[in-house]
Structures are given as structure tokens and as C-alpha cells.
């Protein structure tokens, strides 16, 4: 055989070799658009990024150093999949303060909440499993469950969060397996679910035998108003709760946790074991040091002051410069404003124009799993990343 022919016969046709779920991984037009937001010179209101100046670098450095100096044998060794027990004990105690009756057996540590969402996919989603999400919802959850073959139905949100009154009819039509809820300062909607709606959701789940994924990365970032009881405290046997250090300490740490019934946690352990064995012990021990050093309260208070100022700067600039027929949410916390423009404006179509003018946002369609027309006239704006001067400048174009 000639060298040329030999090469041809050994060339692999990769497309024919992928697993059946891989075609679900198609990149979407909207994700391709979002790569434009990273161009130099663009002021981006698109990402969900915390402010880098809020990262507690000194404390993180000190915690890692102390762990390495005093406990390197343990920190650099393999660890258990369940997670570092002192960190889990700390998390249980702090969750109990919010009315969540968590014991160590109810908790597993993960590499970010995103891994928790992926484990939900691995444990509960088959091809054609129907998932009920809020519309709009967190893009990263859609990405991971779509990979596992999920189909979706959506329940709209309003000022009080998820329209729980619509759930019985949606269930009759779609027989969804679980409901994905973002009760605090919803990403991307910015709204917080009222206690009445949380209770109604808990009652629904118990009555219809469905479970809830409660994703709560922003709960600590409240700038006004009072905390509302987490859904897991109202329906603990039906809820899979996700917490993370990403928005209060730093997303680069990749440390998060799941609280769920013990039997579900043991299946999670198997799912995580087959994926990455365990979350770095060095990381977990350092996060534990940071949490128990007593710095958290002051740190979170400072972050709240910083983000409140940024939220207010964005709201003031919006009030001043937006046309009358544009409306937006006034979030009590979190990182985002959700903006609705008149129906003659398509936020995907004007995105490239915005980039040409040096500003990026996320067009609303990105946050809906189903119909393309959903979200056509909406967009998400992030206020945590840029300082108030930049935000004012960009909204004054
Ligand atoms: C709603 C929601 N869930 C999960 C995540 C992922 O969090 P983590 O950084 O802990 O993976 C994010 C990140 O932006 C988010 O907004």
C-alpha cells in the first residue's frame, strides 16, 4: 500500500465514533455570538462575573499556606469522594441557621455548583426526561442537562418569582421529573421567589411526587429586604439544594456543595467517584480555614456594600437614559438586571451593533430552552463586574 493510501485508511472518521449523546453538544448561534464579548475594548455587561477586587486574596493565600505548612500530608493526599468532614460539619451548621436540617450524611462537596448540576443530569436525566425550568433560567443548567438528553417545559416568572399556580396544569401536560428553581435573585431574571410561592412549590412537589433542584449561588448577596426561607427547609425530602463559594469568595476556587436526602447523596458519591474521584483536599481544607477564621461575615458585608453601589449605579443610569417603553427588574440582590425592550426590537439582532459600539450583554433567547421567540425582546445585564463609572459610561452611549 502506498504511504498516501495507508494514511487514508487509518484516518479516523471521528463523527461516526461519538457516543449517541454527543450530537446534543452542538454549539448554538447565541454562544457563538457571546465569544464576541471577550474582544479587547468591549465593556461587558454580559458575564456573571464577580468583581475581582472583591476576592479575599490575602485570606485565601494565608489559608492555603497554613494548610500546606501544617497539614500537607493530608492536604496533598487522595481524599474521600464525600468531602472533607470538618468542612461539611461547618456547612451543616451554617445551613441549620437558615432552617435547613442538614447532617453530614446529607452533604457532598463538589467542584463548583456546575458539577452538582451535572450530577443531577447523570443521576436523573435520560433521553426524553422532561425537566421543568423557570423561563428564563440559568444557561449552564440547560447546557449540562441537554447533554444528557433532557427535554424541557418552562414555567414563567413574574415579580414574585416562579408562577407556581401554573405547575399542576404543566405537570398534566408534560409529566416532568423535576423542577429547577432559582429562588434568590434569579439568574437571569433578578427576581426573588416569595415565601408563599416557595410554600406552594413545596406543597406541589410533595403532592405530585416530583423533586426540586434548588440552586442558590446568590442567597448571601442580599442588598435590601429580608431573607426568605430556602425551599429545602419547606420540603427537605423532595429537595436537592446547591450552594457554592463562587459568588461570595471566588469562582476560581471551584468549591461547592449539595444538600440532599442521604440515599441520594450516596448515589451522588458514585456519580462523582466515576468522574473525578474527589474534590481537592488542599482546596477543601483551605476553604474550611477561611470559613472558620471568622472573616466571612465582614467579607460578605463588604461585598454587599460594593455590589449594592454597583446595582444602584446601573439602576440610576437606566432611569436616566433608557427610553420610556423599556422596563427592567430592580433586584434586591444578586448580580443581574433583566431588561424588556419594545417588541419591535430584537435583542439578538442588535447584539452585533452593540458590540460595534463597545458594549456587550446577553440576549434573552440564551436563557430559554425551547422556542426561539421566547426572550427575543429581553436581555440580561450584569452590574457586579464593572465599576460605577464604566457602567454609567456604557449606558450613556
Ligand atoms: C444559577 C447558577 N448556578 C450555578 C452556577 C455555577 O456555579 P459554580 O461556579 O459554583 O460552578 C452559576 C454561575 O454563574 C449560576 O449562576
Ligand 1: centre distance to CA 175 (Å) = 27
Q: If 0-12 CB within 10 Å is exposed, 13-18 middle and 19+ buried, where does residue 345 land?
A: middle
For residue 9, what pLDDT is reported?
A: 67
How far is 231 from 214, CA to CA, in rounded Å? 7
| Lookup: cell for 197 | 410561592
Nearest atom within ligand 1 for CA of residue 111: 11
CB 163 within 8 A of CB 304: no
Name the 3-class secondary structure at 156. strand
Going edge to edge, which strands form the sheet with 239-244? Answer: 107-110, 256-259, 239-244, 211-215, 178-181, 130-135, 151-158, 161-162
Residue 46 CA to ligand 1 center (angstroms) comes to: 15
Q: Best mutation site among 141, 142, 246, 254 for ligand 1, i.e. most ligand atoms within 8 A of its Cβ? A: 246
Pocket of ligand 1 (CB under 6 A): 48, 112-114, 138, 140, 182, 187, 215, 217, 244, 246, 251, 256
Residue 129 CA to ligand 1 center (angstroms) comes to 22
Sign of CA dihedral 244, 249, 250, 254: negative
How large is the angle between the packed helices 262-276 and 112-124, nearest 10 degrees?
A: 110
- CA dist 104 and 198 (Å) reads 25
How many angstroms separate the alpha carbon of residue 3 from the centre of ligand 1? Answer: 50
DSSP secondary structure code for residue 166 in this structure: G
| Distance (Å) from CA 77 to ligand 1 centroid | 28
What is the pLDDT, as a whole number, of residue 97? 86
Measured in whole angstroms, how far is the alpha carbon of residue 371 from the centre of its chain?
22
Identify the pLDDT of residue 229.
95
pLDDT of residue 40: 82
93 Cβ partners below 8 Å, 6+ apart? none
Nearest-angstrom CA–CA distance, 99 and 231: 10
* Cα 213 to middle of ligand 1, angstroms: 13
CA distance 34 to 44: 10
Q: Give whole-number Cα distances, 393 to 332, 335, 387, in Å.
A: 23, 19, 10
User: Does residue 44 sit in helix, strand or coil?
Assistant: strand
Report the alpha-carbon distance of residue 98 to residue 79 in Å, rounded: 29
Q: Give the Å distance between the CA of 13 and the centre of ligand 1.
A: 35
Which residues, 6+ apart, have CB-to-CB distance to 267 below 8 Å? 123
Q: Which of 109, 120, 217 best tests ligand 1's pocket when mutated (most atoms within 8 Å of CB)?
A: 217
Residue 107 region by backbone torsions, left for phi larger than 0, else alpha for psi between -120 and 50, else beta:
beta
Task: Give the ligand 1 atom nearest the CA of 117.
Answer: 4
Q: Which domains does the chain have, with CATH numbers?
A: 19-55+298-394 (3.90.1150.10), 72-292 (3.40.640.10)
37 CA to centre of ligand 1 in angstroms: 19
Q: What nine digits make up the cell of 32?
A: 457563538
pLDDT of residue 104: 97
pLDDT in tens, the chain (397 residues): 677 776 666 788 988 899 888 877 766 666 676 777 777 888 889 988 999 999 999 999 999 999 999 999 999 999 999 999 999 999 999 989 888 889 999 999 999 999 999 999 999 999 989 999 999 999 999 999 999 999 999 999 999 999 999 999 999 999 999 999 999 999 999 999 999 999 999 999 999 999 999 999 999 999 999 999 999 999 999 999 999 999 999 999 999 999 999 999 999 999 999 999 999 999 999 999 999 999 999 999 999 999 999 999 999 999 999 999 999 999 999 999 999 999 999 999 999 899 999 999 999 999 999 877 889 999 999 999 988 887 777 776 5
CB neighbour list of residue 206: distance below 8 Å, 6 or more residues apart: 235, 237, 238
Reported as half-sphere exposure (CB side, CA atoms, 13 A), residue 278 has a value of 16
* CA separation, residue 233 to residues 96, 134, 203, 260, 345 (Å): 9, 20, 12, 11, 42
What would the DSSP string read from start to end of 216-266? -SSTT-B-SS-----HHHH-GGGEEEEEESTTTT-GGG--EEEE--HHHHH
Q: Probe ligand 1: pick from 46, 47, 115, 187, max atoms within 8 Å of CB?
A: 187
Among the atoms of ligand 1, which is closest to the Cα of residue 244?
10
Q: Is the pTM of this model over 0.85?
A: yes
Amino acid at each position: 500500500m502506498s504511504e498516501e493510501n495507508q494514511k487514508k485508511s487509518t484516518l479516523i472518521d471521528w463523527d461516526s465514533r461519538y457516543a449517541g449523546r454527543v450530537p446534543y453538544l452542538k454549539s448554538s448561534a447565541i454562544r457563538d455570538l457571546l465569544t464576541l464579548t471577550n474582544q479587547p475594548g468591549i465593556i461587558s455587561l454580559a458575564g456573571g462575573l464577580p468583581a475581582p477586587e472583591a476576592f479575599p486574596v490575602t485570606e485565601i493565600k494565608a489559608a492555603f499556606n497554613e494548610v500546606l505548612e501544617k497539614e500537607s500530608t493530608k492536604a496533598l493526599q487522595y481524599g474521600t469522594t464525600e468531602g472533607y468532614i470538618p468542612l461539611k460539619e461547618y456547612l451543616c451548621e451554617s445551613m441549620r441557621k437558615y432552617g435547613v436540617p442538614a447532617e453530614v450524611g446529607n452533604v457532598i462537596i463538589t467542584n463548583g455548583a456546575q458539577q452538582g448540576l451535572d450530577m443531577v443530569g447523570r443521576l436523573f436525566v435520560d433521553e426524553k426526561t422532561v425537566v421543568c425550568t423557570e423561563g428564563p433560567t440559568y444557561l449552564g443548567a440547560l447546557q449540562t442537562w441537554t447533554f444528557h438528553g433532557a427535554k424541557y417545559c418552562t414555567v414563567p416568572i413574574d415579580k414574585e418569582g416562579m408562577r407556581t399556580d401554573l405547575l399542576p396544569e404543566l405537570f398534566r401536560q408534560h409529566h416532568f421529573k423535576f423542577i429547577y428553581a432559582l429562588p434568590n435573585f434569579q439568574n437571569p431574571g433578578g427576581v426573588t421567589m416569595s415565601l408563599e410561592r416557595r410554600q406552594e412549590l413545596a406543597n406541589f412537589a410533595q403532592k405530585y411526587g416530583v423533586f426540586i433542584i434548588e440552586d442558590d449561588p446568590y442567597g448571601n448577596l442580599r442588598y435590601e429586604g429580608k431573607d426568605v426561607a430556602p425551599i429545602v427547609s419547606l420540603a427537605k425530602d423532595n429537595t436537592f439544594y446547591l450552594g457554592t463559594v463562587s459568588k461570595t469568595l471566588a469562582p476560581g476556587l471551584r468549591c461547592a456543595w449539595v444538600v440532599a436526602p442521604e440515599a441520594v447523596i450516596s448515589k451522588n458519591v458514585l456519580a462523582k467517584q466515576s468522574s473525578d474521584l474527589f474534590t481537592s483536599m488542599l482546596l477543601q481544607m483551605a476553604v474550611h480555614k477561611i470559613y472558620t477564621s471568622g472573616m466571612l461575615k465582614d467579607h460578605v458585608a463588604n461585598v454587599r456594600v460594593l455590589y449594592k453601589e454597583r446595582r444602584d449605579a446601573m439602576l440610576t443610569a437606566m432611569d436616566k437614559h433608557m427610553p420610556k417603553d423599556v422596563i427592567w427588574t430592580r433586584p434586591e440582590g444578586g448580580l443581574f438586571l433583566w431588561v424588556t425592550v419594545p417588541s419591535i426590537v430584537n435583542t439578538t439582532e442588535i447584539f452585533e451593533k452593540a458590540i460595534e459600539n463597545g458594549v456587550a450583554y446577553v440576549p434573552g433567547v440564551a436563557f430559554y430552552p425551547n422556542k426561539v421567540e421566547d426572550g427575543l425582546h429581553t436581555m440580561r445585564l450584569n452590574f457586579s463586574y464593572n465599576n460605577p463609572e464604566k457602567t454609567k459610561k456604557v449606558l450613556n452611549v
